[in-house]
Structure 1
Amino acid sequence: MQNIGWIDSFEKYAQKMITDGQVPGVCMGLAKDGQIFYSNEIGFRDVERQLGVTIDTVFGIGSITKSFTCVAVMQLQEAGKLSVHDPVVKYLPEFRLKNLDVGQITIHHFMTNTSGIPPLPTFFASVMRSLEENEIEDHPFLQNYTDDELPIDTYEDLMRVIASLDLELLGPPGTEFSYSNDCFALLGAIITRVSGMSYEAYVKEHIIDPIGMEHTSFFLEELNGYENITNLYIKQDRGDHKEVIPSLNWWDTPSSRAAGFLKSTVRDMLQYTDMFCKGGLIAGGKRILAPESVQQMMTPYFPTDMAPGQFYGYGLVITTDYYGKTLVEHSGGIKGVTAQMCFFPETGLAGVALSNLELSPVLAVMVGALNSLENRPPETSHLVSKIDFLTEEAMNQFVGDYHSSEFGTLPIRLEDGQLMLSFLGENYVMRPFAEDIFVVRAFGTDCSARFIRLENNKIARMAFAGRQFTIQDKKTSGGNEK
């Protein structure tokens, strides 16, 4: 690990990715067996005051929070207070779906994003209180929302809204993957009811404090005046270019903190990853999880559709063959936040990268470091296509408008002999990978899009960014398909 020959080429690559991505500040660190052996701090936590980032700068970690939520559930299972195979309604009797039986949906289904519940239109209402603090910003995460919704302030509000929605399950529980912030939010409700503590207090007392994560919290005011905290930045579309500007406030949502609202530092997060590599052990020989619980969290239960060969465990994403090793990771993204955490359980190598701009290329930076460490070019992808070419006729069957209540409409068009996908204001080339699977290079790394067919062989949905989108309009002579 002390061979430093890889550093120069990696740092040139990282600097280019971050400069091209207009990212104000990024910090990444690598550790082996809990010892940090490399860190790279690029840019500023406060551009206006020219204050740099360090491995102790507090950033948001977004959906990496989901792994903390699952650690809490596993601790409660070890304490005999619940089982992951219990029905959700055992602890949340108010949880229901209109005209659908939810009795078969278990905590395990929530933890693995396999409840069958499609993406839901709840995000805007969940962050509404934060939006009221300043004028609503021109933000890509909000482009599909209207202002006629009531705020969702509590778990009970969230369950009431979910119960009112007209929706169909994607399939029986355990048969379809679709990433669900709402299900993870409700895991927070289960933790609260089972433990008798607020979700946030439970995570602090049973995970953050025992590990010694000194600058990690859901609430910045709990950091007692600590000043090494990043500002947040967003990109605004100026027509011919995108401008990065400061954003005034952190988004918060009391009903959904279990899905993605923890703040932390690279140093703290590398302590956290080390706990997984050591099978639940932390400093001083103490234990916060049994080895069996850690193994259950890292079990590849179901394909994610975020990349070929990638599976979801409990709040963790597992690639079972990453150049011959098991890679465990999770990313996070929300306003002013892009975050990436990864580790290799067999070798004890771990990495964390945090930034202060949403949709920034920190995953590419992390992958670049992993590649460089093993003497591969930093931009190398571990995905090898099985199909090199499709005719325009073959590609045309995938053209159409795909919709989810969470992200709105995602158009796919055939342009100049290439399939093009539009997502959150950006256009991407879709490269053939395998039957009904395409690879998209976004923000410097590869992710996948998989098309799902009905029994009649017609395309019904597309899985992309972990979510399932339903086809609305074929945009071809074949007519509409629902």
Structure 2
Amino acid sequence: MEQLEAYVGKLMETAKLPGAFIGIAKAGEHVYTKGFGYRDAEEQAEVTLDTVFGIGSITKSFTCVAIMQLQEAGKLSVNDPVVQYLPEFRTKDAESSKRITIAHLMSHTSGMPSMPTLYFAMRRSMEIDPALQESDRNFDLTAHEPIDTYEQLMAFIAELDVEQLGEPGTEFSYSNDGYALLGAIIERVSGQTYESYLKEHLLDPAGMGHTVFLTLDLGDYENITTLYTSKKTEEGKVVFAAPLWWDAPAMRAAGFLKSTGRDMLAYAEIFRTGGKVGETRILSEKSVQQMIGNYAGLEPARHYGFGFMVTPQFRGGTLIEHGGALKGIAAQLCILPEEKITCIVLTNLDGAPSAELLGATINTAQSLPVDEPIAIYPDYPVAADTLQDFLGEYRSGEGEMVQVSSGETGLVVTFAGADYPLRSVGADAFSFQMPTGLEKWIRFVRDEAGQVSRVAFHFRQLIKQSKEA
């Protein structure tokens, strides 16, 4: 493990990451569990197997487990239309909304574009967070009243003047709103709150005693990380404590669980074993297989299932994974069922290189060099006279923005204040390399007239705003 620990130490130093946890289990037995750095840098409190971190959007797979349980109980089908349970749900295209199924929400293929809902759902916690004043975030929280309930969430979506990306089931674009709606469906169908349903039917049966939505529910338990965020200064990146946890009662189903390395390795067993944690069955094997089915292509070798990204031909087996990110959170979970391997990475700084840490962890678990690429994108010829098609600015409703421009040797993508040369890897598809060496993939989307109108970036489809001047 020396190679992994040296790699982790170097990455943490470069990222100024205060604390992290890495866990590897094989056949359900812990083979490597180690805390790095501190859960509280000021107090020099160390990270352990039982330190509580945020897991962000890894919560989405928990939400899908709940939906699959309700399907097994005969209370719904994932192929049912959403309006069967949420009759007040509609988008600008009311007729298209009626064709959106529960499965479309689970696989991010509803056709709904990214919306600003999450910020207004988090508004009450964000506006009392002093760290927000120091950070580089500049979202206008006053543009809408707080969204506190599922009813307010659906009313907000109905009011938005946004175009569907396509017919339900045809276009993948990551949607926190869709998962919030799944939380509402779970409440309507089960007759109990989303949070209590998850506790009763998943967290407690799986023995996940330190997995909660609110740290207050942990009582006097002290092994909880402090959250950290960063800002850019003339001296460079400055990391500082930002201890207030953001919350969004109407969108908890999209990404607000907190958990520990021990609990998450237990949770991963569901997908390694075909539905069980120890001797306790959480899901049927059929439901687990349905969760990792192919419902939307992400990249040439990777697809989205229900709450998970899946690479079905990964080094001779299957890679099931998902990440999570929010203020003070960057986490990654993976399962390699054929090799009986599960891995968890938890960190306490947003923007931390959690995907790189997971890659190194997977490589270590498979006895490979830590820096072995997880995904490889071969070069693909592109005609120079077509490059101008991709130029322009692209934005999402969640505030993401990328600029594609011409560089000295080809296209350049700019986001978060940094430039990255693009390399052609497919028809209208490119990759770029992060400073850590991680390769990222983006794909441009053309409209019916053949004009580039969107870019699939960070799993969302961003809308083209203008062509580069």
TM-score, with length taken from structure 2: 0.95
**Paired residue secondary structure (1:16):** helix
Partner of 1:3: none
What are the superposed Cα offsets for residues 256-289 of structure 1, whole Å, 9 maximum, x if unpaired?
A: 0000000000111000001211111122x22111
Shift of the 385–282 alpha-carbon distance from structure 1 to 2, 3 Å rule, reads closer
Please list, as runs of the form range in 1=range in 2, the aligned pairs for 1:174-253 lying within 5 A after superposition: 174-253=169-248
Question: 2:18 & 2:90 partners in 1: Cα distance?
Answer: 43
Question: 2:24 & 2:5 partners in 1: Cα distance?
Answer: 13
Question: 1:53 & 1:146 partners in 2: Cα distance?
Answer: 34
Match of 1:362 among 354, 362, 365: 354
**Aligned amino acid, residue 35 of structure 2:** E
Structure 1 residue 467 corresponds to structure 2 residue 463: no
Would the aligned equivalents of 1:361 and 1:444 in 2 still touch at CA under 8 Å? Answer: no
Instruction: Please state how far the C-alpha of 1:419 moved relative to its aligned partner.
Output: 2.7
**Paired residue secondary structure (1:67):** helix
Shift of the 435–33 alpha-carbon distance from structure 1 to 2, 3 Å rule, reads same
Question: 1:444 & 1:207 partners in 2: Cα distance?
Answer: 37
Instruction: Please state how far the C-alpha of 1:460 moved relative to its aligned partner.
Output: 1.2
Question: 1:424 & 1:155 partners in 2: Cα distance?
Answer: 32
Question: 2:451 & 2:293 partners in 1: Cα distance?
Answer: 33
Aligned residues: 466
Shift of the 123–424 alpha-carbon distance from structure 1 to 2, 3 Å rule, reads farther
Question: 1:332 & 1:428 partners in 2: Cα distance?
Answer: 23
Instruction: Please state how far the C-alpha of 1:301 moved relative to its aligned partner.
Output: 1.6
Shift of the 30–280 alpha-carbon distance from structure 1 to 2, 3 Å rule, reads same
What is the aligned-residue RMSD (CA, Å)?
Answer: 1.7
Match of 1:19 among 3, 13, 21: 13
**Aligned amino acid, residue 61 of structure 1:** I
**Paired residue secondary structure (2:276):** coil
Match of 1:312 among 293, 304, 314: 304
Which one is further off, 353-362 or 409-418? 409-418
Structure 1 residue 88 corresponds to structure 2 residue 82: yes
Instruction: Please state how far the C-alpha of 1:197 moved relative to its aligned partner.
Output: 0.7
Partner of 1:430: 422
Question: 2:40 & 2:381 partners in 1: Cα distance?
Answer: 46
Partner of 1:395: 387
What are the superposed Cα offsets for residues 162-210 of structure 1, whole Å, 9 maximum, x if unpaired?
A: 0000011100000000000001011001001111111001101110000
Partner of 1:380: 372
Match of 2:91 among 80, 87, 97: 97
Would the aligned equivalents of 2:364 and 2:370 in 1 still touch at CA under 8 Å? Answer: yes
Question: 1:42 & 1:73 partners in 2: Cα distance?
Answer: 35
Question: 2:126 & 2:364 partners in 1: Cα distance?
Answer: 41
Please list, as runs of the form range in 1=range in 2, the aligned pairs for 1:136-147 lying within 5 A after superposition: 136-139=132-135, 142-147=137-142
Partner of 2:363: 371
**Paired residue secondary structure (2:133):** coil
**Paired residue secondary structure (1:439):** strand
Partner of 2:67: 73
Partner of 2:342: 350
Shift of the 30–197 alpha-carbon distance from structure 1 to 2, 3 Å rule, reads same
**Paired residue secondary structure (2:143):** coil
**Paired residue secondary structure (2:4):** helix
**Aligned amino acid, residue 464 of structure 2:** I
Question: 1:96 & 1:14 partners in 2: Cα distance?
Answer: 46
Would the aligned equivalents of 1:61 and 1:262 in 2 still touch at CA under 8 Å? Answer: yes
**Paired residue secondary structure (1:117):** coil
Please list, as runs of the form range in 1=range in 2, the aligned pairs for 1:229-308 lying within 5 A after superposition: 229-283=224-278, 285-304=279-298, 307-308=299-300
TM-score, with length taken from structure 1: 0.93
Question: 2:101 & 2:135 partners in 1: Cα distance?
Answer: 34
Would the aligned equivalents of 1:308 and 1:383 in 2 still touch at CA under 8 Å? Answer: no
**Which runs of 5 or more residues in structure 1 are unaligned?**
1-6, 477-482
Instruction: Please state how far the C-alpha of 1:467 moved relative to its aligned partner.
Output: 0.3
Question: 1:318 & 1:461 partners in 2: Cα distance?
Answer: 24
Would the aligned equivalents of 2:22 and 2:361 in 1 still touch at CA under 8 Å? Answer: no
**Paired residue secondary structure (1:357):** coil
**Paired residue secondary structure (2:422):** strand
Which one is further off, 203-212 or 423-432? 423-432
Which one is further off, 286-295 or 8-17? 8-17
Would the aligned equivalents of 1:339 and 1:355 in 2 still touch at CA under 8 Å? Answer: yes
Instruction: Please state how far the C-alpha of 1:349 moved relative to its aligned partner.
Output: 0.3
Would the aligned equivalents of 1:308 and 1:448 in 2 still touch at CA under 8 Å? Answer: no
**Paired residue secondary structure (1:211):** coil
Would the aligned equivalents of 1:60 and 1:263 in 2 still touch at CA under 8 Å? Answer: yes
Instruction: Please state how far the C-alpha of 1:46 moved relative to its aligned partner.
Output: 0.3
Instruction: Please state how far the C-alpha of 1:357 moved relative to its aligned partner.
Output: 0.5
Task: Calculate percent identity across the aligned residue pairs.
Answer: 44
Structure 1 residue 417 corresponds to structure 2 residue 409: yes
Question: 2:30 & 2:69 partners in 1: Cα distance?
Answer: 27
Would the aligned equivalents of 2:139 and 2:399 in 1 still touch at CA under 8 Å? Answer: yes
Would the aligned equivalents of 2:93 and 2:163 in 1 still touch at CA under 8 Å? Answer: no
Partner of 1:41: 35
